[in-house]
Amino acid sequence: MSSQRGYTLLIAALLCVGAAPLAPAQSTPAQPTIGDLTKRKVAVHPGSAAGGDSTRAMENYQRFLQLQNTDPKLRAEAMRRLGDLNLDAGEMERMEKEVTSIDQQGAAAITLYTTLLKAYPDYARNDQVLYQLSRAYETTGQSEAALATLDHIVQRYPQSPQLDEVQFRRGELLFSARRYPEAEHAYAAVIARGAGSAFYQQSLYKHGWSLFKQSLTLESLSSFGGVLDSELGTTPAKAVRVESLKRADRELVEDTLRVMSIGFSYNEGVSSLEHYVQQHGARPYNWLLYARLGDLYVDKQRYQDAAGVYRAFAARDPYSDHAPELAMAAVEAYSKGGFSQLVVDGKQEFVKLYNFDSPYWKTRSRESNPKVVQELKTNLKDIATYYHASAQKSGRVADYQEAARAYREYLKSFPTTCWPRRCSRGTSTAKRPRSSSTPPTVIRATTSPRPPATERSSPIRKERRASPARSAEPGITAPPSPVTSSPRLSPSTPIAAAS
């Protein structure tokens, strides 16, 4: 009679939680068995909370365990399931109520698991029991006991199917305890199991941090790079944009890029980055490594170092999609640092690399790259007006030649765009009248220059006309004097600040 009641209670408990059927140690036709459950349909709702069903299941398991002369294997299984229910109920309660104190149900789970391990040392699922016991220790604030239990699993059950999760949890506990070398080895054990593990990517990330915390910053880069490979792809065909990632993955990528930038800055900066890229190989996200390191230097007001990083990428891969963006980031960094001549040099470098005759445009259209087109237009204008103003101040032939070169390139690149402040209101720039041989704005060298009307009263012009040695300098018959029309472009003013 007791046996009959025991099976009934166990069946009821399993039905409450929708558990899979278990085979009993012995069965006879006269007694109901767990196998009879397969003949009954049980409605299981995965998304719903267990609620009262879990409570009823726990009560039925407890009654079953109070009975005498029940099957040992079924008793062991009932103890394990009751422990799991206590543990899950305790964690759910702590989550709902945001309780940080020790939960009583976790303590009850510990009692059940330890009793099970002592009473049934050969139980086939003892590795799972030990793992759940470690969880229970952790939820009750006994981290050392939790770690010791996980260590026991690694030693006694090296073939456990949960070993990757066991090692990951070991790593987490060791990392929290600041035992970084041991945490490093625990995470490495997960990584060794391959990308098929659900804990592979997180282990890569924490393995990198374990090395970083030991001041092994260069050694940590490989693990962090593995995270980026996993999230962003390793080839252009499999490249993933950061913006397209889910929030958690995007935050993981941004954190990884940040710690890698710090690692490079702790060593030799851009030289360390260049060496890493050379060793690690081409990746579609490499530009982000340069961008983030440059941004870090800007935040620290190390503007020349920042510009050096941005320019390093443009020099390595000048015609890639993101090279113009980093080239202009270098100019902006120089501008923030107040390096006016370096701003001019950076703009000239941009024009050289991304003018419309450069290889950059062989596989791209202007319509699909409007930002690059606008930067080219702005830089040509800034270079022309800068050297024009500089020439009028210094009278140097080289400055006039640079201005003339920039004006010609501007007119060649943007023939239907009138020069700023030269277009009258309401006039269409696309239909401006022009002679058959002279563009709207002309810069040419002559032996007898005639300055524009706006410049005839210039003291510099008077001095030049009075000096026979300068009679052969080029004349400017182009836009009004940039000194009066564009005061922001005086040689002493940073160009980027005037843009």
The label of the residue with tokens 């983030």 reads: 292
Q: Tell me, what's the pLDDT at 182?
A: 97
Cα end-to-end distance, the chain, whole Å: 93
CA-wise closest residue to 136 among 124, 149, 125 = 149
pLDDT band at 139 (very low <50, low <70, confident <90, very high): confident
Fold of 1-40+50-161: 1.25.40
Q: Tell me, what's the pLDDT at 71?
A: 58
On the question of pLDDT at 231 being above 60, the answer is: yes
8 A C-beta contact, residue 435 and residue 470: no
Q: Tell me, what's the pLDDT at 403?
A: 94
Q: What is the share, in percent, of the chain residues with pLDDT greater than 70?
A: 63
How far apart CA 302 and CA 131 sit, in angstroms, is 50
Q: Tell me, what's the pLDDT at 68?
A: 56
Take residue 431 and report the two structure tokens written for it.
């239909």
On the question of pLDDT at 486 being above 70, the answer is: no
The letter for the amino acid at 415 is P
Q: What is the share, in percent, of the chain residues with pLDDT greater than 90?
A: 55
| Helix, strand, coil distribution of the chain in percent, nearest 5 | 65, 0, 35
Decide which of 459 and 284 is more confident. 284
Residue 44 φ/ψ, nearest 5 degrees: -115, 125
Per-residue buried b or exposed e for 319-352, using 16+ beta carbons within 10 Å of the residue's own CB = bbebbbbbbbbbbbbbbbbebbebbbebbbbbbe
On the question of pLDDT at 293 being above 50, the answer is: yes
CA 159 to each of CA 152, 162, 190, 228, 263: distance values in angstroms, whole numbers, following the listed order: 13, 8, 13, 30, 37
Q: What is the DSSP string of 162-211?
A: THHHHHHHHHHHHHHTT-HHHHHHHHHHHHTT-TTSTTHHHHHHHHHHHH
Average pLDDT estimate for 219-243: 95
On the question of pLDDT at 418 being above 90, the answer is: no
On the question of pLDDT at 417 being above 80, the answer is: no
pLDDT, tens digit (0-9, with 9 covering 90-100), for 326-358: 999 999 999 999 999 999 999 999 999 999 999
Least confident of 16-20, 138-142, 290-294: 16-20
Average pLDDT estimate for 136-150: 92
Least confident of 98-112, 296-310, 383-397, 465-479: 465-479
The label of the residue with tokens 């759910």 reads: 92
pLDDT band at 70 (very low <50, low <70, confident <90, very high): low
Q: Tell me, what's the pLDDT at 111?
A: 84
Domain ranges of the chain: 1-40+50-161, 351-420+458-464+471-499
pLDDT band at 454 (very low <50, low <70, confident <90, very high): very low
Average pLDDT estimate for 155-180: 95
Decide which of 182 and 27 is more confident. 182
Q: Tell me, what's the pLDDT at 419?
A: 62
On the question of pLDDT at 472 being above 50, the answer is: no
CA-wise closest residue to 8 among 32, 40, 38, 26 = 32
Three-state SS at 481: coil
